[in-house]
Structure formats: structure tokens, C-alpha cells
Structure 1
């Protein structure tokens, strides 16, 4: 079989040292750093050396047995994330473990920074959380994505689209970050992957932003692409070698579904338009990666204060006791689905059907 060509042709984005130093120096704009210019210059020199020599992963160790290339130097940070995911997966599969719900608040709004007010999403999340707290044998992990906008150094770096070059180039968990040469560090996904792996049920509560998911939620969704078909062995592609990845995929790829079999519920709210579209998109995405919907009452889209002033939207939520109860029902449905799942009484009807068009 002929090897597929790796296409090139985009302009260089390499910086010279002056441009690099200018960008890095902007991090020290505060006058509090004025007395530290000598130290900052030394930091810039060290950072430039890492950039100039492309030291993406400055700390590595040999992959060892169980990998396609035992001598490949794996990032110790990626290895730590992989180990955390593996522990979470073992816990999730253990019959002795408590049932675990990952409850996700998708709104970027926070009263800890601008806009200075709690989000309606977070209020609905806390309403759902009350349901889970009353269930014996359940534990809840709350993932509040508004921390991306309100917490220092908290970020989710963008997906680089490795899948579109070749599926095996997308590693599980993602190995694109951290990239120390480019200063792309503090990637929250290293903590989020184990959260998903440990969960039996996932509940997403989110607003709609311009007919789509908020950037906070969408960033996480994009970076979860590696959960559906991702390669657990970076050594098999020599890290990020696109030619090796293409060759591997063309020989036949199994597309492992790392989060399949978990159950989900979705609550989407809006103010004027787009809630139904986003609810369908989220449900389709979760189903597409092999997860199982918890039923009709677990997937809802509603409007709060339809075309009313934004300033009074919390009052509208106060009045909408039906929506509050629907959020509880979405949580209750998820609880029942998790119970059935763990008793072996819930199975995706098409689980044994062979897909003639694997992604």
C-alpha cells in the first residue's frame, strides 16, 4: 500500500528572539516587576533556549514494556495523566466502588470576577446536586467551568485537530499539552480526563451562547475527542510524527471508545433562541462517543425569562419552579440509569451492532 503524503504549505510562525522576548516581557507589565528586570532577562534567556530548541517535554523517561517502542522518551507529565486516567478507569469498573456522578456547570459566568453575579446555570447545578446528595451509595464531583474565567492560571488549551491528520496521532489522554517550548502549560484537561473516566453518569447543565455551547464548555468538548478512538500509546507514532500516524491508521485502526457505556443527562437553558439546537448537539455528541442517554426527561431545553430583560433573569428563574423541578427530574433520571447500569440491566441496544463506517 502506497504511503499517504503529509501535506505542507502554511507560512512559518517562528519568532526571532526580539519578538519572543517582547511577548514574554508583557507578562511582567505590572510595575511591581520593575525592580526585577535583571532576573526577568535571565528568565527570558532560559525560555528562549527552550523555544529555540523546541523542548516541548523537557522531562521524560523511557516508555518501557507494553509500548510499541519501549525506548521512546515519554513526557513524565503525560505519564502522570495517563496513570491518573488508568486509576479512574479501574475505580469506575470496580463493583465495590460508589456510583459516581460528574456534574458539569458549563457557564463562564462567575460572581468572583466580571460580571460579578452568579450564573443561572450554577443555580440549576446546585438544584440537581441536592438530588444526588440524597442518594445512598453515590458521590458527586462538581466541575465548574467558570473557573476558566475566574481562577488564576486555569485554562484549557485549544484542540489542535490531530484527528484530522490521522486518528492514531490523537493520543488518549491528549499529549499535545503541556508544550513548554511554546509556554502552553497549566492545562486543566490533565485533571478533567480522570474526572470523566471515573464517572458512571455525566450531567451537563449549560446556557446557550449564540446558538452554540459557551467557549468554556466547547473547549472541553473539543479536547475530549481523544476519548473516541484516541491512541493510548504515543510511542507508536513517535510522539507526533504525522507520517507514522497515517501509516498506522491505513493498516487498520480499532478506534477504541474510552468513555463508552457511561450514562448522561443534559439541561440547556437560553433566553431567546438556540436552546433546542444546543441540547440536540450535546446529546448527539455524547451518544456519538458511545454514552447512553438517561431518557426523555433527562434531556431538556428551556427558556428562562423568554425575551425579558437580562437584568431580571434571576427573578425569572425564581418564578420558574417547573424548570427547577425539571432539573431535579433530569438528575433523578440519571440516578436511575446509573443504578440500572451498575446492576447490568441497562445496555445500549445497538452495542453489538457492527458499524460499517467506523469514524
Structure 2
């Protein structure tokens, strides 16, 4: 069949305008980095083509994954009024600095990890069950959402709700109700909190609202998430290698597109050892080339499904190879492989267009 010149030009234009994907990463304790550490991290992320870094608001101290942390408290302590803005103030300057490296933040307003450890009053008063159903707990958490989004960053003089130049998205909680003992309560809570975030964004559609993932592909993408109007993005957490397969991801891509949602692979990683990837706790170190091949192969499979991905985690220091060892330190033996994968993601064709939400 002979194609007209106009058809060829239209096809070329469609190819040229096709959305590109991107790579991203996680560092839950980013608020505890010193200036030198953050420079090392952000320069490395930029070199790898990373566009977004996901951070949490839970307190941290001591050393995590070989990173000496400048300690900070939880945003809330042992009562609803026990606010400590240190983490918000630290992230004010960090997000402004990240902007200079072309990177925005995805902010997790709370973590199931803190809830399960009873590190703040939510865990102490309500535990991991009642937290999602108790009316008082729900209202207190809505107040937390409002407090975070109303925080003013002196770097730009704007609230976080207005700071789309710095913030890519908000999520209510990392891996909410991790074991999903009550899925209907979980999905209702997620949608309620997504709406609370939307309400406090006050019409700003330049910052996205996402879930905080689950434990694996299927329980990251519960049915009711696809029909919740307040959710823009559905986040996948997956470490089992079967969940990285393009063919496994594609049906969810089509479902999300039909529901006018976006997908991200918000957490994934390649185990440092010979242990099963979904249980990276034991085993002996993999040959470096094998792990590097795994990183590139699995990233390419996610890319082929048209989904942007966030690696767990890129460190500003050498990886000490502690338990659950998915991390890659900048300059580590597998850093070049991860950097290559990150840059390749930025050239991959995307099924979901995030171009309006990223720094160019």
C-alpha cells in the first residue's frame, strides 16, 4: 500500500511527539543528609537521568545503609499536637537544591513502617488495624495532610501545595495496611486521603496524587483504586522477578489507561545476593556482572511496558550490603549498570505522559 506524503508526515509527528519515560529513585531518610552527602546524591542521580526522588517524613537517626544521618524526629510525636517541623524544614532546602539538578520530590506523608513500629501516636493509639477505620484517627490524619501541604518553604515563599516546581506528587502512606487484612477499609482509606490531598492542593493540578504501593504487583493495584477519582497515579511495589515481566505488566497498563490513571513502578530492586529476589536476606554475593545484567534486563522489561520506575535505593555512599540488600551506592561496582538503565529509561517510549510534571 502506497502512503501519501501527509500520512508519512503525520506518522513522523506522532513518533516525534511520543511521550518518553523516566527513571527515579527512593531515599526515605533524605532529610538527614548533610550538604556534602546531598550533593553527592543529587549529582549521581542527575548523571543517571533520574527525574524524581521519593522521600518520607518519618524520623531517622544513627546510620542507615551506611549513611551517617543528621538525626531528625518524626513529624508528629506522641500526640496529635506534638508537631516537629524539622523534617519539613530540612526538605525545604533539599527540594530547592534538587531542583537545580533537574529533580523533583515525591513526598510520602507517612509510612506503614512508623505505624507498625508505634513510632508516633498513630501506632501507639490505634495500631495497624484501627488506624484505617477509627474516625478520630482518620480525622487526625487529615489534619496531618493539611499541615504538610500548608507548610511554607522559605526558598520560594510558597506552601508545599503550591510548589509544583519542587514537588512531583504526594502520597498518604508508604505501603498502607501492608498485609491488607481489610482490603475494603484500605481502599476506602486510600481514596479518602487522596481526596484530602486534593482538597488541600486547592485546585493545583500540577502536583499529582498517588498511592504508596503494596507488597507486590497485584496487591498494589486493588480494583477500587481504578475508580477513585482523587487518585491520579497508582504505584506498584514489586521485587518478585515475575512482576517485572512486560507481559505481566501490560494488562494493568491497559486497565489504567482505560480508567484514566497513570502507573509507576514505585519500588523495585535487584538483589545483591543469590537469595530469591523477593526475599533478599541471605545467600552469597552474586558475580558483579550478573547483578549488573539483572538490573539492566529487569529495568528494560519495565521500560518495555511503558512504565516509569523508581529504584530502591540509590545511596550517596558505598552499599554496606546489609539485609534486604537491593541498594546500589554511587560509585559501587553496579553503579554503571544502574546508571545505564536510568538513562535508557529516559529514552523509552512511555504509556503514561508525565512530561508536564517533570523538570526538563
Q: TM-score, normalised by structure 2?
A: 0.29
Higher relative contact order (CA 8 A, sep 6+): 2
Choose 1 or 2 for highest CA Rg.
Answer: 1
Q: TM-score, normalised by structure 1?
A: 0.29
